[in-house]
Every structure is written in C-alpha cells, then in structure tokens.
Structure 1
Amino acid sequence: MLLKNYILFTVLLASFTSFSQTAYPKITGYFGILHPIVTVSKDETNVNFRDYYAVGFPTGINIWKNEKIGFSFEIVPNIKDDQGTSKVTNILFHPGVLVALGNGYTFAGRAAFESGGRYGVTPVFNKTIIKSNSCSYFVAIPLPLRFGNDHPATFTVGFQFGIAF
C-alpha cells in the first residue's frame, strides 16, 4: 500500500510540474540599445563612431504563439550626432515574425517602415546570454536593408544588446 501511494504521489507531482510550464500565448517586452556599425550603398560606405555617432533604442513586445513561433512589434527612435548637432533622425516601425532556433538563439524577420520615408527588411539574429526568472539579457546582430525616398539602397550591419522581461 505504501508503494502504491508513493507511485500515485509521484505521478501527481510530475503532472502538476508539467502544468507549471509556460502557457501560450506568452507576452514579453524588451528594451535595447542599437549601434549601427557600418552602412554600405553603391555611392559610399559610412562607419559609425568615425563619420558620426548614431544610436537607436529598440522597444518592443513579443507575442509567442508557442515555443517555436511568435510575432513581434518594435518601435525604434534613432538619434544621430553629426558634427556636434544631435537630433532624432527617424522613428522605425518594425513588425515581424519570431522563430526560436534553440539554445537561446532566435531569428526575427522584420518589415521596416521609417518615418524618414525609407522602407525595407531587417533580418535579426538574437542570442539570450543571461536568463533568470524575472528577465533575460540578449545580444543581437540586425542586418537592415533599406530602399526608397530617392536614395540608393543601403545595407547595414549593427550590434544590439538589451533586456527582456
């Protein structure tokens, strides 16, 4: 009888533990700091920290449908300091799909709509580097491709780090 009760208790405990797993949809928010490193077009190559200083502040919400796929909406105000004058250069609206790749890696495929008139896509490769119960810290490599507003197409490589909660 004692063995039977022990087995029943173990089965109940195991099933209770499985119910405590993450429920979906799961909503998370995040904030980051983005530094574009280099931007290339057919006319020129611009390097951040050398030619000017530009920084963005990605802020967003992720809605995970399940552990593998989700939707993200991000807004990124961008500030540029060029020859001693700083200003908000544009606001980026950045919706996209999230795909969990495993081992803390995530791919975000984003559409891009800039208030300055440019548009395009931004593939982003993200890695969670520290995870706790209340938040996680991440690094990401965004690769924006932009078109429009009577400018040549540009490709940028950036570096982003941030906190998700």
Structure 2
Amino acid sequence: MKPVYYSLISLTVFLSLRFPLTTHAQTVTPPAYPRMAGYLGVLHPIITFNEHGSETNFNTYYVVGFPIGLNLWKTKQIGFSVEVVPLIRAENGTSRVTNVLFHPGILVNLGHDFTLASRLAFETSGRYGFTPVLNKIVKRGPTISYFVAVPIPVRFGNDRPTSLTAAFQFGIVF
C-alpha cells in the first residue's frame, strides 16, 4: 500500500475513535430532593432609615458583611436556609467585627432563577428582626452558580429605634 493510504486509514481510525458515528440522546436528570447547597457572598448595606432620618454606608464609615450559608431544599419549591454573617466596620483608620448575624429562614422558589428568602434575624449587637431577600441566579455553571440579591433588613431592640436597610449582595452557590 502506498503511504497516502496509510495516512487516510490512520486518519479514519483516529476520527472514528475520537468522534463515534453513533449518537446518544442527552438525558438531563432532575435534581433529587431533598438537596443541599452551600453559598458564600459579600453584603453591602447601602442606606438605613429610622425615625432620626437616613444614614448611608460609604460616607463616614464602611460596613461589609460576608454571608456564609447552607440551603436545604425539601422540594423544588420550598426549602430551609441557615446563614451566619460576620459584619466588619471600617472607620477612622481602624476596622473590627462589629456584629455577627444568625439568619435562619424559609426559601421559596419563584421560578426563572428567582428565590425569596424570608429570614429571622438575631444579632450579637442585641438587635433582632426579619429580612426578606430577593435572590436571582445570574449565571449557572456545572458546579457553581453566581447570584445577586437585595436584602431588606428590618431591626428592632437594644434601645434603638426600628430601622429598615436597603442592601446589595452577590456571591456563589456550590
């Protein structure tokens, strides 16, 4: 045989091993429930309102939180979540952990990658309350997904006026 035939045979064998002619239908298996997912994020409170007026982050101080949590989805529609959020405050050239938030709640799948989390709030600062959070998965990956969220914390107690804060959060789910 001529060398050209050997080359064609080799190429044909290589391609048939590399790209088989038979095709298999891809089957997407739905996730099994209950299922668990962890997440990490960064939280930026933007503005806080109370009876004395409003106070903005980034003005005379900077507060940032780092939510760490586990979601246990009982079904596709409903789940339970527990979150711990250490909050760091930087002001006058120093920074410190000023508060740790324990944040359990119920998750409701709203469809189209939106989730509503209705959370209770217990802070080491002595404040308590609740936090509705609207969450959106913005990019899905095979092992991790990226999300953005808008939490609206409402807090009471510790001899301070009731407050409502608008915040922005982003992070990863794995």
TM-score when normalising by structure 1: 0.88
C-alpha distance after superposition, 1:56-111 (max 9, x if no partner)? 00000000001110000000000001222211011000000000000010000000
Amino acid at match of 2:109: A
Among 106, 123, 135, the residue aligned to 1:114 = 123
Q: Which of residues 149, 152, 163 is equivalent to 2:158?
A: 149
Question: How many residue pairs align between the two structures?
Answer: 151
RMSD of the alignment, in Å? 1.5
How far apart, CA to CA, are the structure 2 residues paired with 1:25 and 1:132?
20
Instruction: Note the alpha carbon deviations across 1:1-56, whole angstroms, 9 max, x for none.
Output: xxxxxxxxxxxx99x947x3200001000000000000111013110111210000
**Residue ranges of structure 2 left out of the alignment (5+ in a row):** 1-23
Whose Rg is larger? 2
Counterparts in 2 of 1:98-113, with a 5 A limit?
98-113=107-122
SS where residue 149 of structure 1 aligns?
coil
Query: Equivalents in 2 of 1:118, 1:82: separation in Å?
Result: 21
CA distance in 2, matches of 1:57, 1:67: 26
Instruction: Give me the identity figure in percent.
Output: 55
1:49 pairs with 2:69: no
Match of 1:127 among 109, 133, 136: 136
TM-score, normalised to structure 2, is: 0.84
Q: Write the letter of the residue equivalent to 2:92.
A: Q
Q: 5+ unaligned residues in a row in structure 1: which ranges?
A: 1-12
